[in-house]
Structure 1
Amino acid sequence: MPTMLERDDNETEYEVNEWMRFGLRLGVSTALHPFEYAKVLMQIGFEPIAPVPGRTLFGNPTMILPNVFQYAAYIKQVDGFAGCFRGLSAKILGNLLSAHFSERIADELGLEACEGKRGKKKDDRVESELDDDDDGVALDDKFKKQLKRNLVVHTAGVIISQPFHVISIRMMAQFVGRERIYSGLWQSIREIWTQDGVFGFFTGFVPRLLCDLGCLVISSSATYLASKYLIREAEGRVYFSSISQFVVSSMFYPYHVVSTCMIVNGSRLRAGSLPNMEPYRDWRDCYAKLRAAGNHKRGNSLFFRYSASRPTKMSPAGAGYAPYPELKKF
């Protein structure tokens, strides 16, 4: 039986490892931010580069839109290298606060992590705690316990990070109209508070929360059922979990698009106003209109992007399309 000192050492090592993993994820997120920036602009329908004639993977003629690398290269061409990281500071701050306080909230509510997870990564899914020697009762208990904790952690995380997520998205959406309304964190907070009050910091919150919790519950449940009835090997469970997360996230992706559009819609940015974006009553109206127009999965494919017709270019000056940028070293 471990002594008190050994338990304290294990707890300290666990916390250090968690922050090291979080720091690594933060570094990767920072490096990939230009591509996330491009994806946000795709989601709100901004297509500054003309599509070119081409063919699909099945040989059908279509119009091909620039991929994420060409899009990021265009952003760099317009705003320079530093401009590719617009909105990053707010995103990092939101992630830091969310990661710290969401776990604390779960602990305060008495929702402790499974015993087998000490010294391991606190994964948001269930495959890490579903070991090969688990019997049915232990598997059921661990699944229910971890799912309850993850629901609280994810909900708290979205609530805490949403104001910074709104600021980050609007900072990036300024690229469309070349505004400087959201130039800094405090200026952005003052702008949102003045225009919309406290509720302005939570625009797009509901579809984002539905997307996050929907992915969590369905992918976790699928992994649990597969681990209990189909897959006994730990490696197979990990593979199945990754596949299920990918499939489920694709299913809920339209809610991600709706959240991004609702964050921009109704603001003073040109990207969220006519003629660039029609007004939406609420997120349900936004989802219905995007789905009716076939735009509810904008930005889902980052490499093979097709357009059935020539898209309408968002441009404050009404200028022509930009040429395809050369893919130089980023």
Structure 2
Amino acid sequence: MSNFKEESRWSNIALRILVNTASHPIEYAKVLIQIGHEPIPPRATTTLFGQPALALPNLFQYVKYIKTVDGFTGLYRGLVPKLCANAISTVAFQKTAESITFVNEPDPQIDEDDLPEHERRTRCINELVRDLASRIVAIIASHPFDVITLRMMAQFVGGETKYTRVFGSVVEIYRENGISGYFAGLVPRLLGNIASLIIASTATYAINKYIVYDREMRSYTAATMTFLASAVTYPFLVVSHCMAVNDCGLVAGLPPQMPIYESWTHCWSHLSANNQLKRGSSVLWRYYTGPQVIMNGKPIRISKENFYLQGTQ
């Protein structure tokens, strides 16, 4: 049995390495958007409802832009520490989950639909507690490598080369921010994951108990609720990524690219005030939400450059 668990663990790690490698360019572009880097000016367009708007490049166009600047290999900046983080996260999660047991654990061999109501509720609570504890341990253990990944990616903004290798990046983070630098952005990331798990778990239990009675349909409830919970808690991810690069010595984390935030709540307040908490959440349709005016039926972005040019004419 132990050999089977070890094989399962390492097969899961191998699968995650494959998936993360394939999706890395898209995730890379999303991170740059999340930290506020928009190198391609928005273009005039219309929404699906025919309203004038300014369109920003979608994720695939952003990936193409990164390739034109850094080449094909540049699309995989930060991949190595990201894979390290995922491997550590997977092992830490599974080891923690295996070590947590409950005295009132219902028989795992019995299908949930065949359990009495009180045992079904007990199983739901036990699984939630186990998942929460395992996820917290996994996030804390892997977060330093996630910070390295994010800072390697953020170097694209200013063209720096401070974070190139994993070991060198460990030294650089300590030099810039001390021990706390390894856990920059940890609190909003933890809160987002905890909130997501609680929302998904409780919603799945309630829907399966009071709304969905078909066994086959119930198998889709958890996946659907997990997706919706991730969407609801997405702003925590944006804030976490911003805090991971904020005031770290890179152009991406300093004014004018990004204000220096006193705390993650300060970052949240600033992004919320500017309607930026959901940036990077859309894959295909992205619209500029900053100050703009409609002139002759066309949207025009208002920026300092606009005022400067008008004043010199």
- The match for 2:200 is 219
- The match for 1:13 is 4
Q: Using the TM superposition, give the Cα deviation of residue 307 of structure 1 relative to its aligned residue in structure 2, in angstroms.
A: 0.8
> Structure 2 CA distance, aligned partners of 1:240 and 1:311?
44
More off after superposition, 233-242 vs 90-99: 233-242
- The match for 1:57 is 48
- The match for 1:145 is 126
Give the counterpart of 1:91 among 79, 82, 87. Answer: 82
> Structure 2 CA distance, aligned partners of 1:226 and 1:245?
13
Q: Using the TM superposition, give the Cα deviation of residue 188 of structure 1 relative to its aligned residue in structure 2, in angstroms.
A: 0.5
Q: Which AA in structure 2 matches 1:264?
A: V
Q: Which AA in structure 2 matches 1:291?
A: S
More off after superposition, 43-52 vs 226-235: 226-235
Is 2:135 the counterpart of 1:154?
Answer: yes
Q: Which AA in structure 2 matches 1:101?
A: A
- The match for 1:253 is 234
Q: Which runs of 5+ in 2 are unaligned?
A: 293-300, 305-313
Is 2:24 the counterpart of 1:33?
Answer: yes
Change (3 A) 1:130 1:271: farther
Give the counterpart of 2:158 among 168, 177, 193. Answer: 177
Change (3 A) 1:174 1:131: same
Q: Percent identity?
A: 41
Higher relative contact order (CA 8 A, sep 6+): 1
Give the counterpart of 2:248 among 267, 285, 289. Answer: 267
Q: Deviations over 1:57-111 (max 9, x none)?
A: 1111101110000000111111111110111110110111121123223433446
Q: Using the TM superposition, give the Cα deviation of residue 248 of structure 1 relative to its aligned residue in structure 2, in angstroms.
A: 1.5
Q: Which AA in structure 1 matches 2:238?
A: V
Q: Using the TM superposition, give the Cα deviation of residue 23 of structure 1 relative to its aligned residue in structure 2, in angstroms.
A: 1.9
Q: Which AA in structure 1 matches 2:43?
A: V
More off after superposition, 98-107 vs 291-300: 98-107
Q: Deviations over 1:271-296 (max 9, x none)?
A: 11011111110000000010001111
Q: Using the TM superposition, give the Cα deviation of residue 218 of structure 1 relative to its aligned residue in structure 2, in angstroms.
A: 0.8
Q: TM-score, structure 1 length as denominator?
A: 0.83
Give the counterpart of 1:278 among 251, 259, 263. Answer: 259
Aligned residues: 293
State the secondary structure of the residue aligned to 2:45: strand
State the secondary structure of the residue aligned to 2:112: coil
Is 2:108 the counterpart of 1:116?
Answer: yes
Is 2:67 the counterpart of 1:71?
Answer: no
- The match for 2:186 is 205
State the secondary structure of the residue aligned to 1:64: strand
> Structure 2 CA distance, aligned partners of 1:13 and 1:35?
34
Q: Deviations over 1:247-267 (max 9, x none)?
A: 221111111110011111111
1:53–1:63: 8 Å Cα contact kept in structure 2?
yes
2:45–2:54: 8 Å Cα contact kept in structure 1?
yes
Q: TM-score, structure 2 length as denominator?
A: 0.88
> Structure 1 CA distance, aligned partners of 2:134 and 2:215?
25
Q: Which AA in structure 2 matches 1:86?
A: R
Q: Using the TM superposition, give the Cα deviation of residue 234 of structure 1 relative to its aligned residue in structure 2, in angstroms.
A: 3.2
> Structure 1 CA distance, aligned partners of 2:217 and 2:92?
33
